[in-house]
Structure 1
Amino acid sequence: MHAARNGVAILDLPGFTKIEVKGPGAFAYLDNLLCTKLPKVGRISLVYALLPDGKVLSEFTVVRVAEDSFYLVGAASSEWHDLDVLEMALPTDGSVTLKNVTKDYGSLILVGPRSREVLSQVTTSALDNAAFPWLSMRMIDTAVGPVRALRVNYVGELGWELHASNEQMVALYDAIWKAGENHQIVDMGIYAVDSLRLDKCYRGWKGDLEIGFSPFDASLDRFVDLTKPAFVGRDALIAEKAAGSKWRFVPMTLDEDGDADAPFCASVFSGEKRIGIATSGGWSFTLNKSVALAYVRPEFEAAGTKLEIEIFGERKKATVGQEPLFDPRNERLRS
C-alpha cells in the first residue's frame, strides 16, 4: 500500500470479466440497457445496468473502442451473471454481437506516482496527460506487441490497467518489473487494493452494490443520465427522484480504532434507532483509521453526523465523512 500511494506497485489480476460488444446496433443496445451516458471513442465510463424497478443489476467499465465497438469489463465473479444480462437484452435483428474474451486476456495493474516513469520504459507510446488523459484507452506498443492500456484503476492513483493476451502476460510482467526495479517496484495483493479503495469510497459489486438498492440509494447520482429518452429502469428512477430515495450511501470512520473493523451488514444506529447497514469495512493505512461504507437513512447522510456501528456485539462511535475520504479532487488520478 505504501508503494501504491508513494512509489509504484504492480498487481497481476487475471479475473476481470471481459466482453466485446460490436455491430451497427451496439450503441443503441447499450444506451437502452444502461442508465449512464456512454463514452466517446477512446474514452472510458463506469456504467450501470438496472432492473425495471430501478435497482442496480450490474456494473461495468465500458471502453468505446470505435463508434460501433465496445469493450466491457466487469467483476471476476460476475462473468456468467453479466453474460446473462447482456444476452437477454440482445436485439433479434442481428445488429449486435457479443464475444466473451475473459479467457483470452489477462490484466496487469500498474499504479502509483512513479507508474508513468516505469511504463514509459516499456513503451514508446506517449503517456502524458495531453496524449493519454485519465479515463481514456490507448493501444500502446511494447516489446511483446500491442497492448490495450486503460488509464483507470480501483485504488485512486495515477495508473493503468494493461489488458494483454495470455501469450504476452509473462513477458510483459517481466519487462515492467525490470523497468521498475530502480523505483523499488513491489507486488501488490487484493487485500491492499481493498484497503486503498475504501479511501476513495469505491463500491464493491455484490457487497456495496446489489439489487436491493438503486443508484440513487447508492449515492451514484452522477452516473445516472435522466436526459436520455429511454433506458431500463428510467421511469422508476424518475419517480424515486421526485419522492426522494429511502437510503444514501456514506463513508464513516470509527472515532476510536478498536479491535475490529465493521463486518458486512453490521447495523448502524442513531441512539437506539437502527438507521442503516454497513456493507464494507476495513483499515485504511492511508488515513490510519477504520473505515466503513454504509447505507443510512437520508437524514443521517451529512458529513459530521455522529452515529454508532454494532461491531461483533459492541456499539462503536463513528462519524459520517465526505466522499471521497482521500484526494477529493482526484488530483492523483489526473496527475
Structure 2
Amino acid sequence: MNKFRALRVSQDESGAYVRRVIECGIDELPAGELLIRVHYSSLNYKDALSASGNRGVTRNYPHTPGIDAAGVVAESAVAEFAPGDEVIVTGYDLGMNTAGGFAEYIRVPAAWAIKRPQGLSLREAMLLGTAGLTAALCVDKLEKTGLDASAGPVLVTGATGGVGSIAVRLLARLGYQVAAATGKAEQADFLRSLGAGQIVERAALLEGVDKPLLKEQWAGAVDTVGGDVLFNVVKSLRYGASVACCGLTAGVNFKANVFPFILRGVNLLGVDSVELPLMVKASMWDRLSLQWKLDGLESLAREVGLDQLPGEIERILAGQQVGRVLVRLI
C-alpha cells in the first residue's frame, strides 16, 4: 500500500503541461483524516482545465486532478468513519489544489466525505459524479421556483455533455418535455434515447444576440455552456420562468440587458456543487439513490483506465465528449 498509481500533470522544460501516469508514495498525499482507496472517478470539464495548466482552477503543479472519487476508507482518524466504509467525495478542493481522484489513493478531510447511499453502488455514484449532482441541483432549484412537468418545454443546453446528458435523462424521468440543444447534430438519436422530445441546433440559440428580447419558448432551462447562449435563453424564457446556470464552456461573459427581468419577470439561477454544505450534498445524493434514481446510466458512459485519461482529456477540451467518462481504478 506504500505505492500507488496516479495521473500527474507537470510542466516540462519548455513550459508545456504534460500528463503522465506515475507511481507515487502514500506519504506524498496531503494531510487529512481519511485515506481512501479509490475505486472509481469520472472526467469533468474542470478536470480537463486543471490538467491543461489552468491556474484559475489549480494554482500549483505538479498536480493530480480529479474532482470526483468513490472508494473505500483504508484509514480513518475520526469516529464517524471506519476502515471498510464506502464513501463518495466530490467538490470542495479535491482535484483543484488537493491531489484528486485520478489516483488509486486520496487523503482528504472527513468533512468532505459522505457515506455511500444504500441505493447507489460506488460505480453508479461515479457514473453520476459531479455532473449528475450538478444536474440534480439544477432541476431541484428550478422546481423550487415553481417549475413542474405541466409547465411546458424545458431546454437543456450542451445536452451531449456530462451535466447536460444527465439533466436530459433526469427531466425526462420526471415527466418533463425536454428540448436538447447541441452542436453535435449526429448525436440526435443519442439525445432522443435519453428522453429528449425536441433537438435544437446550437446555432439557433445564437440568433438574435443583439435583440433585447426573443420569442417566449421555454418553461425553464438548464444551461451548461454560459456565454451569449445563456442570455439568449434568458431572453426566450416564458413569463416568470427560470434558467439554472452551471457552466461556462461557451464563455464567462454575455451581452445583457434588463428587459427580460423587468418585462417578463424571469429568473437567472446560479448553481454551484463545489462548496455546497455537506448536508445538502448528502441529501441530494440520497435523492439520486431513491426517488430520482436513473436507470440506464451505463448507456451514458464510457469506461477508461488511468492510461487512457490523457487522450480523454484532449477529447473533452476539443468539445468531443459525449455523455460521461467513468475512470476505473480497481
- Provide the TM-score with structure 1 as the length reference: 0.23
The structure where helix makes up a greater share of residues is 2
- Provide the TM-score with structure 2 as the length reference: 0.23
